[in-house]
Amino acid sequence: MQTLKASWFGFEKHWTWYRRNWRATVVTSFLTPVLFLLALGIGFGSQVQSTALIGGVPYLQYIAPALVVVTALQGATFEATYAIMSAFLWQKTYVGMVATPITPAQVLYGQVLWIGAQLFARSAVFVVIAVLLGAAAGPGLLWSVPLGTLAGLAFACPLIAYSARLDKPDSFTTIFRFVLMPMMLFTGAYFPVSQLPDWLVPLVWLTPAWHGIELARGTAFGTLDLLPALGHIAFLTAMTAAGIALAVKTFHRRLAV
């Protein structure tokens, strides 16, 4: 109870900031889905022959649920890198917080809560725009909102634990280029992973993106069985939980010295 309240105060701080600065973020959260859906779904998609492999649906509708997940992952990556480092090193806001009754772990929970809320809001905006652009095959696309959020958190939490250990941001560009980019491109968002060379597929299974996309697309088209669905959710939840557990350790080590 105490922990929940304390974490909420951390969330509130971000909300206070957001109330003043939402205009700056709103452009990205609206523009990204519009651009992606227009360029890839409608533009590029007009040249793509729908096949049995993608379920015989229009390409625009095929990629829509996956794009929700991909956008969430992208957002998660930014929220879990520079923002975290700044709160430790540059602005030192975390340092200020732990001088109050709030503990390092609660600082982390508040941060995760805020990232989750943002991912949820972004994903919801994405789905609304997808509906407006005719990218929704049915109401099942709504599932992409919580599922995109979960996939985003599954990536964000371990990444927070990593960022919290760093003293300089140099490795972030490497993560953007060699982890985020391939993960966005090769995990089934734009084409089925069965088209990938066999040796690459097990690697794909380890990404939160693949599990998230499988879930979002499966629920959007009603093609997902319960057992695999639970498996994917279990994987993403485990990644989130492990990330949080690791991050609690690093936050404590870093803030309580």
Distance of CA 238 to the CA centre of its chain: 15
How far apart (Å, rounded) are the C-alpha atoms in residues 165 and 253?
Answer: 9
Indicate the residue type of 82. Answer: Y
DSSP 176: I
Structure token pair of residue 32? 């990204």
Q: Which is nearer to another protein, 16 or 174 (CB)?
A: 16
Q: Counting every residue, how long is the chain?
A: 257
| 16 touches another protein (CB under 8 A) | yes
Distance of CA 67 to the CA centre of its chain: 11
Q: Smallest distance, Å, CB 2 to another protein?
A: 8
Q: Which of residues 19-38 bind another protein (CB under 8 A)?
A: 20-21
Contact pick of 61, 103, 118, 163 for another protein (by CB under 8 A) = 103
Q: Both ends of the chain: CA-CA distance in Å?
A: 26
**Listed ranges 71-79, 90-98, 172-180, 193-201: which one lies at the site for another protein (CB under 8 A):** 90-98
| 176 touches another protein (CB under 8 A) | no
Question: Taking Cα atoms as reference points, which of 26, 63, 57 lies closest to residue 43?
Answer: 63
Cα 164 to Cα 80, 86, 157, 245, 255, distances in angstroms: 9, 10, 11, 13, 10
| 100 touches another protein (CB under 8 A) | yes
Contact 37, 133 (CB under 8 A): yes
Q: Which is nearer to another protein, 43 or 96 (CB)?
A: 96
Contact pick of 17, 22, 178, 205 for another protein (by CB under 8 A) = 17
| 1 touches another protein (CB under 8 A) | no
| 91 touches another protein (CB under 8 A) | yes
| 129 touches another protein (CB under 8 A) | no
**Listed ranges 85-93, 128-136, 204-212, 221-229: which one lies at the site for another protein (CB under 8 A):** 85-93
Contact pick of 95, 131, 203, 242 for another protein (by CB under 8 A) = 95
Q: Smallest distance, Å, CB 172 to another protein?
A: 20
Q: Which is nearer to another protein, 100 or 171 (CB)?
A: 100
Classify the C-alpha dihedral 57-59-60-66 as positive or negative.
positive
| 165 touches another protein (CB under 8 A) | no
The distance between the two most distant Cα atoms of the chain, rounded to a whole number of Å, is 60
Residues at the site binding another protein, with contacts judged by CB under 8 A: 5-6, 9, 12-13, 16-17, 20-21, 91-93, 95-103, 255-257
